[in-house]
Protein backbone atom coordinates (compact mmCIF):
# COMPACT_ATOMS: atom_id res chain seq x y z
CA UNK A 1 0.00 0.00 0.00
CA UNK A 2 2.84 2.38 0.82
CA UNK A 3 4.43 1.74 -2.58
CA UNK A 4 1.23 2.70 -4.38
CA UNK A 5 0.86 5.90 -2.37
CA UNK A 6 4.53 6.85 -2.83
CA UNK A 7 4.33 6.20 -6.57
CA UNK A 8 1.17 8.28 -6.91
CA UNK A 9 2.70 11.16 -4.94
CA UNK A 10 5.79 11.05 -7.16
CA UNK A 11 3.73 10.92 -10.35
CA UNK A 12 1.52 13.83 -9.28
CA UNK A 13 4.57 15.87 -8.28
CA UNK A 14 6.31 15.19 -11.60
CA UNK A 15 3.21 16.03 -13.61
CA UNK A 16 2.64 19.19 -11.55
CA UNK A 17 6.19 20.42 -12.09
CA UNK A 18 5.95 19.66 -15.81
CA UNK A 19 2.69 21.61 -16.11
CA UNK A 20 4.05 24.57 -14.12
CA UNK A 21 6.90 24.90 -16.63
CA UNK A 22 4.48 25.32 -19.56
CA UNK A 23 3.97 28.73 -21.21
CA UNK A 24 0.19 28.84 -20.89
CA UNK A 25 -1.87 29.97 -17.90
CA UNK A 26 -4.28 27.02 -17.70
CA UNK A 27 -1.60 24.28 -17.49
CA UNK A 28 0.19 26.32 -14.80
CA UNK A 29 -3.00 26.40 -12.72
CA UNK A 30 -3.49 22.65 -13.23
CA UNK A 31 0.13 22.04 -12.23
CA UNK A 32 -0.30 23.99 -9.00
CA UNK A 33 -3.46 22.01 -8.25
CA UNK A 34 -1.63 18.72 -8.86
CA UNK A 35 1.21 19.79 -6.58
CA UNK A 36 -1.23 20.68 -3.82
CA UNK A 37 -2.95 17.30 -4.23
CA UNK A 38 0.42 15.53 -4.02
CA UNK A 39 1.27 17.39 -0.81
CA UNK A 40 -2.17 16.56 0.62
CA UNK A 41 -1.73 12.84 -0.07
CA UNK A 42 1.77 12.96 1.41
CA UNK A 43 0.55 14.64 4.62
CA UNK A 44 -2.40 12.24 4.83
CA UNK A 45 -0.09 9.23 4.46
CA UNK A 46 2.23 10.57 7.16
CA UNK A 47 -0.52 9.90 9.71
CA UNK A 48 -0.06 6.14 9.20
CA UNK A 49 -1.97 4.19 6.59
CA UNK A 50 -4.31 1.87 8.47
CA UNK A 51 -7.19 -0.06 6.97
CA UNK A 52 -10.51 -0.41 8.83
CA UNK A 53 -9.34 1.48 11.92
CA UNK A 54 -11.16 4.46 13.42
CA UNK A 55 -9.33 7.81 13.49
CA UNK A 56 -9.14 7.73 17.29
CA UNK A 57 -5.99 7.33 19.33
CA UNK A 58 -5.98 4.31 21.63
CA UNK A 59 -3.50 4.26 24.46
CA UNK A 60 -3.28 0.50 24.82
CA UNK A 61 -3.02 -0.44 21.15
CA UNK A 62 -0.15 0.54 18.84
CA UNK A 63 -2.24 0.46 15.65
CA UNK A 64 -4.10 3.71 15.18
CA UNK A 65 -4.72 6.43 12.64
CA UNK A 66 -3.63 9.91 13.67
CA UNK A 67 -6.44 12.48 13.22
CA UNK A 68 -4.13 15.52 13.04
CA UNK A 69 -2.96 14.96 9.43
CA UNK A 70 -6.59 14.44 8.41
CA UNK A 71 -7.51 17.83 9.87
CA UNK A 72 -4.48 19.47 8.21
CA UNK A 73 -5.39 18.00 4.83
CA UNK A 74 -8.99 19.14 5.17
CA UNK A 75 -7.79 22.69 5.85
CA UNK A 76 -5.30 22.50 2.96
CA UNK A 77 -8.04 21.38 0.56
CA UNK A 78 -10.13 24.44 1.42
CA UNK A 79 -7.14 26.77 1.05
CA UNK A 80 -6.04 25.23 -2.27
CA UNK A 81 -9.59 25.50 -3.63
CA UNK A 82 -9.65 29.21 -2.79
CA UNK A 83 -6.18 29.70 -4.29
CA UNK A 84 -7.23 27.92 -7.48
CA UNK A 85 -10.36 30.05 -7.77
CA UNK A 86 -8.32 33.26 -7.42
CA UNK A 87 -5.77 32.07 -10.00
CA UNK A 88 -8.52 31.17 -12.47
CA UNK A 89 -10.06 34.63 -12.08
CA UNK A 90 -6.65 36.28 -12.61
CA UNK A 91 -6.04 34.12 -15.70
CA UNK A 92 -9.48 34.96 -17.12
CA UNK A 93 -8.84 38.67 -16.55
CA UNK A 94 -5.45 38.45 -18.25
CA UNK A 95 -6.96 36.53 -21.17
CA UNK A 96 -9.73 39.08 -21.64
CA UNK A 97 -7.23 41.95 -21.52
CA UNK A 98 -4.56 40.51 -23.81
CA UNK A 99 -6.48 38.00 -25.92
CA UNK A 100 -4.03 35.18 -25.17
CA UNK A 101 -3.11 33.02 -22.22
CA UNK A 102 0.64 32.96 -22.86
CA UNK A 103 2.75 33.54 -19.79
CA UNK A 104 5.91 34.85 -21.48
CA UNK A 105 6.62 38.56 -21.91
CA UNK A 106 7.64 40.06 -25.23
CA UNK A 107 10.55 42.47 -25.01
CA UNK A 108 10.53 45.82 -26.72
CA UNK A 109 13.47 47.75 -28.14
CA UNK A 110 13.97 49.68 -24.89
CA UNK A 111 14.65 46.50 -22.91
CA UNK A 112 17.37 45.17 -25.18
CA UNK A 113 20.98 46.06 -24.57
CA UNK A 114 23.26 47.00 -27.42
CA UNK A 115 26.03 44.48 -28.11
CA UNK A 116 29.54 45.49 -27.10
CA UNK A 117 31.84 46.01 -30.12
Give the helix/strand (H/E) hosting 12.
helix 2-20
Prediction pTM value: 0.72
Give the helix/strand (H/E) hosting 84.
helix 67-98
Q: How does pLDDT run across 33-80, given as a tens digit for each residue?
A: 999 999 999 988 887 766 666 666 666 666 666 778 888 889 999 999
First-to-final CA distance of the chain: 64
Q: Which residue has the higher pLDDT, 46 or 21?
A: 21
Computed on alpha carbons and rounded to an integer, the radius of gyration of the chain in Å comes to 21
Q: Among 38-42, 45-49, 90-94, 112-116, whose mean pLDDT is lowest?
A: 112-116
Amino acid sequence: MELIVATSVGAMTAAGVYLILRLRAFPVILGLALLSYAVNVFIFASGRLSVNLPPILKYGDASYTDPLPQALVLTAIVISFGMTAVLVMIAIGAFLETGTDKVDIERGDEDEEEPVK
